[in-house]
Amino acid sequence: MRISGSIVYEEKHIFWFILLIMLPLIAIFLAILIYQILIGPLGTKPAPNWFLALMLFIFILLDYGFLVYRVIITTEVLIAGFPLYSVKIPWEKVADVEEMKGSVWKYGGYGIRIGKMNGKSVMLIVIPRISRILLKMHGWKRDYLVVSIGDKDTAINYIRQEIEIHRTFQ
């Protein structure tokens, strides 16, 4: 990922829930694939080896792609998300920031979600047990963006500073 601007704040979190789901699936498909290659077909109608290898690849990709959650605040952009999907928001598109109160369950829970908040479009990139901030957007594809952030007070201060700096240059 190419980062523009100087990094002023960065944090990384492990999304353990993905590991708890994917690790057993990876182990099961790997064991079945190895068994079928070395010993022989498993069951009367065994899955083809290419299918087992494909499923193994998909589970490893999902595990790698969504295990680590990062938030990076630079002098130019806010980057939040996972290796397979993240958003990169220039400060010119952020109108305001505040702590998000309330539950994410009304938007479908944890992960990457798109929904409605007060009749306006919202995107959420949230993980469990981490506080969240709400960014009010203008000129972006969504009206709000909600991201998980560990040290919300520090992050909100940096974001407000960047919004103010970039507002003066418009």
Provide φ and ψ at 105, rounded to 5°.
-65, -30
Write the Ramachandran bin of 68: left for phi over 0, alpha for psi from -120 to 50, otherwise beta. beta
CB 123 within 8 A of CB 85: no
pLDDT per residue as tens digits for the range 130-161 = 899 999 998 889 999 999 999 999 999 999 99
CB 140 within 8 A of CB 69: no
Instruction: For residue 82, give the nearest of 72, 91, 90 by alpha carbon.
Output: 72
Q: What are the sequence ranges of the domains in the chain? A: 7-12+72-168, 15-66
Q: Which residue has the tokens 């929904």?
A: 115
Helix axes 16-38, 49-67, angle to 10 degrees: 160
- Given this model, what pLDDT does residue 168 score? 63
Q: Which residues contact 134 (CB under 8 A, 6 or more apart)?
A: 97, 98, 99, 100, 144, 145, 146
Dist. CA 52–CA 9, nearest whole Å: 42
Provide φ and ψ at 46, rounded to 5°.
-70, 150
Stretches in the chain below the pLDDT threshold 50: none
- Residue 79 in tokens: 């980057």
- Given this model, what pLDDT does residue 170 score? 52
CB 117 within 8 A of CB 170: no
3 state SS of 166: helix
Q: If one looks up domain 7-12+72-168 in CATH, what number appears?
A: 2.30.29
CB 18 within 8 A of CB 67: yes
Neighbour tally for 29: CB within 10 Å: 21
